[in-house]
Structure 1
Amino acid sequence: MNYTYSALELEIKELYGQLQIYDMQPLNIEKAAKQFDISLIYKPIESKAFSIRNRRAIFIDERKDPLRQREDFCHEFCHILKHTGTQNNTHYLFKQMQENQANAFMYHFAVPSFILNNINLPNTIYEAVPFISNNFGVSYEFSHHRLEMFYRNLITYPNHNYWIKNKASMEYAPY
């Protein structure tokens, strides 16, 4: 199936190439931080990113489980790569735009489309959610949302009839 990647998905694929990750596996956030010269600091505070005078740091909330820490890292990594300055004195709409960008980046970076396109996903959402969660190291809620995003994009793609015919439907299994 031909899949047209968005600019964000192409950017993620390039970042994964820099990390030399080409298959399904949980993102190693320590390795990613080191590769991009970012200090990774675990503290009992809300996760956040800082970039001051060519020094970049991501603070990860050590009170969270490793799955949610990985999710937070992906969100904060976007702020490091794409945003400058602080959000403290910015207009709330600008801050919201940056947060929306970071959230979109987070989902795509933790579970990249180019990898999803190359694996055989289980046929039901009840099987696919734990499959993605276990293989990419993200929470069930995160996995569910990311799968919805991925399939929504496939369905809106003009060639979606091919996908519907050749992939089993992502219907919810009956109880």
Structure 2
Amino acid sequence: MVYSNLEDFVTEIHRKIGILTPNEIDMQMIADSLNIKPHFWDESSQATESASEHWIFINEILSLVEQWQDFGHELCHVLQYAGNQHNLPLKFRLYQEV
């Protein structure tokens, strides 16, 4: 079976943090293992970095499924996109959000 680059990336992260089966997948455990601080709030979900600390803010009003989707999306920003995304051209920032 051939996997996409993203699937390979996720599989490698799971392996590195010791996730071997789907029932071991836990948002807090993933965040702790990657030294990311999750926070739930009533604003839109986003990721940020401050003083070399990474934060993922998840909208607490969303369903659990939507929170997982936002967590995965924001985690990708933390792990794959370095620097201040606001310095990038608008079209490239929008492309990353797809």
Shorter-chain TM range is: 0.7 to 0.9
Question: Where does residue 70 of structure 2 map in the other structure?
Answer: 72
Q: Using the aligned pairs only, state the percent identity.
A: 29
Write out aligned runs for 1:14-163 (5 A).
14-25=12-23, 27-100=25-98
Q: Number of aligned pairs?
A: 98
Greater helix proportion: 1
Runs of 4+ displaced beyond 6 Å: none
1:64–1:34: structure 2 CA closer, same or farther, 3 Å change rule?
A: same
**TM-score (ref. length: structure 2):** 0.86
Q: Secondary structure at the match of 2:23?
A: coil
Distance between the aligned counterparts of 2:40 and 2:23, measured in 1? 22
Give the superposed CA RMSD: 1.7
Bigger radius of gyration: 1
- Structure 1 unpaired stretches of 5+: 101-175
Higher relative CO (Cα under 8 Å, sequence separation at least 6) belongs to 1
Question: Where does residue 11 of structure 2 map in the other structure?
Answer: 13
**Alpha-carbon offset, residue 89 of structure 1:** 4.2
**TM-score (ref. length: structure 1):** 0.51
- Structure 2 unpaired stretches of 5+: none
**Alpha-carbon offset, residue 75 of structure 1:** 0.2
